[in-house]
Structure 1
Amino acid sequence: MPEFNHVKIILTDIEGTTSSISFVKDVLFPYAAEKLSDFLHQHHQDATVQQHIKATIELAKQEGNDLTTDNLDTIIECLQQWIRDDKKATPLKALQGMIWQQGYEQGDYQAHMYPDATAQLKQWHSSGVPLYVYSSGSVQAQKLFYQYSQDGDLLPLFSGYFDTTSGGKREAQSYRNILAELQKNHDIVAEDVLFLSDIKEELDAAQQSGMQTCWLQRDAASINNTTATASDAHLSVDQFTDIHLS
């Protein structure tokens, strides 16, 4: 079983790592897509929603789409297309988080957790290892996910959260940005951080920043990009309880 030395902080992905891809793809994404139009028509005057609408327009312009604030339906269609494309757009992720909050609070669903992930995260937390999350979902969505999990409120386990405002998950600079934030509260160097993910390209980027890496390969479905193959660069495990710290 893989053993990792001198780990002071664990940074974990969510989808395919602590939790199933199917919950996000088959429950959360369709729910947001179904509720998006009504949500924006009801809340487009809210200051926070307006901020995300403006960010959507700016991002769309960079892609050659000329959207305006006075045509809400075209903005909604743009966001719906981004959902279909699984685009990691920060304003989309923020709006999805707001919609998902309603669903969680109404009891429409609970976030899936792999039992081994919940058990090991609790063990690491109880032993004093700070736990952080880095996901393409917004920080708000991450907190909702763990607060309304099927294993109860897991928020107390985590010390902080990072999303795409730190950069893309396949970019080494994003992990350097996260490391700089972690170093504000912890006396660490890059190799003191262990990053957990099911995506090889994310692990490659984290490794380039100097972090240690562990590849979660739960099953073929969890490796959701075609270039992911067996790699000597990253130690791999089937579940969290196979990860040993020393």
Structure 2
Amino acid sequence: MAPFPVPPSVTAILLDIEGTTTPITFVKDILFPYIQDNVEEYLQKHWREEECQEDVRQLRLQAENDSGLKGFVPIPSEHEAELQVIKGVVDNVHWQMSLDRKTTALKQLQGHMWRSAYASGKVKGEVYDDVVPALNKWKEAGLKLYIFSSGSVEAQKLLFGYSIEGDLLELFQGHFDTTVGSKVESESYRRIADRIGCPTDNILFLTDVIYEAEAAREAGVHVAVAVRPGNAALTDEEKSKFHLITSFDQLNLSTTQ
């Protein structure tokens, strides 16, 4: 694919994570299986800590709301035996994950487990080989770098703070998650531009998702779509709408400075 000349107006680059900086398989094959395989051990180890108990309380509240769903897995009350409660939490977490649910309670527990896994070295955040050299190049060129991902800001910082390339957090000026709005809504990108303190025309967004690309462009943001191994295939029509890149090396900054 041809190099992408970055528009001269661009002063900030906004990056998606999955399929853009990081293989989609990292989440699917590493992060989620880690939760499934280690949730029981994690609960047993941290059971008497307030943070863990709060996670369980939130999961129990979610379970109560889910009681009418098919296949519902209840969580015993706090008055039941510890092992029984832990088993209920484990079964409930497995059930939610089997349905690919994104409940706040589940994400909260997952976030705490991943934090522990990263800190202990059991998990390291994956990035494509071309990512770190490009980030360093862009920062040296005076561009400001930001992340916008559906994963929480905490999860983003864990991935880049404990990456296979070391701590990359110093390369970024800020992080945004869906608390700023959906990634497929143009208003989210306007809010980000406002928080960054620049017009949308000063931002280049890199993503692998066409719906996100369309929302960003509607907001006046420049866009390039990442085509990486394992990403969803694009139709010919979708390919014709945006500039495509297979590597960050293809971003030509010569016209920006």
Q: TM-score, normalised by structure 2?
A: 0.79
Q: C-alpha separation between the residues in 1 aligned to 2:97 and 2:105?
A: 12
Identify which of 193, 218, 221 aligns with 2:203: 193
Identify which of 214, 228, 231 aligns with 1:222: 231
**1:172–1:208: 8 Å Cα contact kept in structure 2?**
yes
Moved more, 9-18 or 80-89: 80-89
The AA in structure 2 aligned to 1:28 is L
Q: C-alpha separation between the residues in 1 aligned to 2:193 and 2:53?
A: 30
Identify which of 39, 42, 58 aligns with 2:42: 39
Aligned position for 2:154: 140
Identify which of 101, 122, 138 aligns with 2:136: 122
The AA in structure 1 aligned to 2:19 is G
1:61 aligns with 2:65: yes
Describe the SS at the equivalent of 2:204: strand
Aligned position for 1:92: 106
Moved more, 101-110 or 171-180: 171-180
What is the correspondence of 1:143-162 to structure 2 with a 5 Å cutoff? 143-162=157-176
Residue 12 (structure 1) shift: 0.4
Structure 1 residues 13-48: Cα deviation after superposition (integer angstroms, max 9, x where no partner): 111111111122111110022223443463486258
**1:10–1:195: 8 Å Cα contact kept in structure 2?**
yes
Q: C-alpha separation between the residues in 1 aligned to 2:20 and 2:227?
A: 8
Q: C-alpha separation between the residues in 2 aligned to 1:216 and 1:121?
A: 15
Identify which of 138, 142, 145 aligns with 1:131: 145
The AA in structure 1 aligned to 2:247 is Q
What is the correspondence of 1:178-189 to structure 2 with a 5 Å cutoff? 178-183=192-197, 188-189=198-199
RMSD across aligned C-alpha pairs, in angstroms? 3.0
The AA in structure 1 aligned to 2:28 is K
Moved more, 172-181 or 73-82: 73-82
Structure 1 residues 82-123: Cα deviation after superposition (integer angstroms, max 9, x where no partner): 433434444433322211121112221322111111110111
The size of the alignment, in residue pairs, is 240
The AA in structure 1 aligned to 2:231 is S
Q: C-alpha separation between the residues in 1 aligned to 2:24 and 2:145?
A: 21
For the structure 1 residues 106 and 69, does the alpha-carbon distance in structure 2 shift closer, same or farther, using more than 3 Å as the test? same
**1:136–1:163: 8 Å Cα contact kept in structure 2?**
yes
Q: C-alpha separation between the residues in 2 aligned to 1:74 and 1:176?
A: 43
Aligned position for 1:29: 32
For the structure 1 residues 154 and 60, does the alpha-carbon distance in structure 2 shift closer, same or farther, using more than 3 Å as the test? farther
Identify which of 198, 202, 209 aligns with 2:212: 202
Q: C-alpha separation between the residues in 1 aligned to 2:101 and 2:250?
A: 32
Q: C-alpha separation between the residues in 1 aligned to 2:109 and 2:67?
A: 20
Q: C-alpha separation between the residues in 2 aligned to 1:138 and 1:124?
A: 24
Query: Unpaired runs of 5+ in structure 1?
Result: none
Q: TM-score, normalised by structure 1?
A: 0.82
What is the correspondence of 1:65-76 to structure 2 with a 5 Å cutoff? 70=77, 76=90
Describe the SS at the equivalent of 1:133: strand
Describe the SS at the equivalent of 2:240: coil
Q: C-alpha separation between the residues in 2 aligned to 1:194 and 1:87?
A: 31
The AA in structure 2 aligned to 1:93 is K
Aligned position for 1:19: 22
Residue 55 (structure 1) shift: 7.9
What is the correspondence of 1:108-119 to structure 2 with a 5 Å cutoff? 108-119=122-133
